[in-house]
Amino acid sequence: MAKYKVGLISLGCDKNRIDSELLLGKLNEKNEIVNDPNKADILIVNTCGFIESAKQESIDAIIEMADYKKKNCRMLIATGCLTQRYSEELHKLIPEIDIMLGVNEYANIQKYIDNFFNANKNKICVCDYSDISINEGKRILTTKSHTAYIRISEGCDNLCTYCIIPKIRGKYRSRSIESIVSEANELVSMGVKEIILVGQDTSVYGVDLYKENKLHELIRAISKIENLEWIRVLYTYPEEITDKFIDEIANNNKVCKYLDIPIQHISNSVLKRMNRKSSKELITNNINKMRSLINGLVLRTSLIVGFPGETEEEFNELKEFVKNIKFDNLGVFKYSQEEDTPAARMDNQVSEEIKDNRLEEIMMIQQGISKEKNKHKIGKIYKVIVEGKENGDYWFGRSYEMAPEIDGAIFFKCDKILNIGDFIDVLITDALEYDLIGVVYHESCE
CA distance 233 to 255: 8
Quick check: 439 pLDDT over 90? no
pLDDT per position as a tens digit, 127-150: 788 888 888 888 888 888 899 999
Domain of 419: which CATH number? 2.40.50.140
Pairing of strands 99-101, 124-126: parallel
Q: pLDDT grade, residue 398 (50/70/90)?
A: very high
Q: Tell me the torsion sign for CA atoms 365, 161, 262, 271.
A: positive
pLDDT, tens digit (0-9, with 9 covering 90-100), for 18-76: 999 999 989 998 898 988 888 889 999 998 877 778 888 888 888 888 888 888 888 89
Range of the domain at 116: 5-126
CATH code, 11: 3.40.50.12160
| CB atoms closer than 10 angstroms to residue 208 | 14
| Judgement on whether residues 426 and 349 belong to the same structural domain of the protein | no
pLDDT given at position 1: 53
Measuring CA to CA, how many Å separate 50 from each of 55, 75, 239, 341? 7, 26, 23, 11
| Residues 280-298, mean pLDDT to the nearest whole number | 95
| Cα distances (angstroms) measured from residue 213 to each of 13, 55, 142, 193, 287 | 25, 34, 31, 26, 20
Mean pLDDT of the chain: 90
pLDDT the model gives residue 2: 63
Is 125 within any annotated ligand binding site? Answer: no
Domain boundary among 320, 339, 374: 374
Task: Give 388's pLDDT tier (boundaries 50, 70, 90).
Answer: confident
Beta strands in 323-376 (DSSP E): 329-334
Same domain, 302 and 387: no
Establish whether 160 is an annotated binding residue. Answer: yes
Residues of the chain with pLDDT > 90, as a percent, come to 59
Final residue belonging to a domain, choices 374, 400, 432: 374
Q: 301 exposed, middle or buried (CB, 10 Å; 0-12, 13-18, 19+)?
A: buried
pTM of the model: 0.91
Q: What angle do CA 9, 12, 16 make, to 5 degrees?
A: 80
147-151 and 194-198: which strand pairing? Answer: parallel
Same domain (yes/no): 404, 295: no
13 known member of a binding site: yes
How far apart, in Å, do the first and last CA atoms of the chain sit? 46
Give residue 43's Cα distance to chain centre. Answer: 23
Q: What is the pLDDT of residue 365?
A: 96
Closest CA to 382 of 427, 319, 351: 427
Residue 384 and residue 412 in contact, taking contact as beta carbons nearer than 8 Å: yes
Q: pLDDT-derived band of residue 363, with 50, 70 and 90 as boundaries?
A: very high
The predicted model gives 361-390 an average pLDDT of 92
Confidence band for 409, pLDDT divided at 50, 70 and 90: very high
| pLDDT-derived band at 344, boundaries 50, 70, 90 | very high
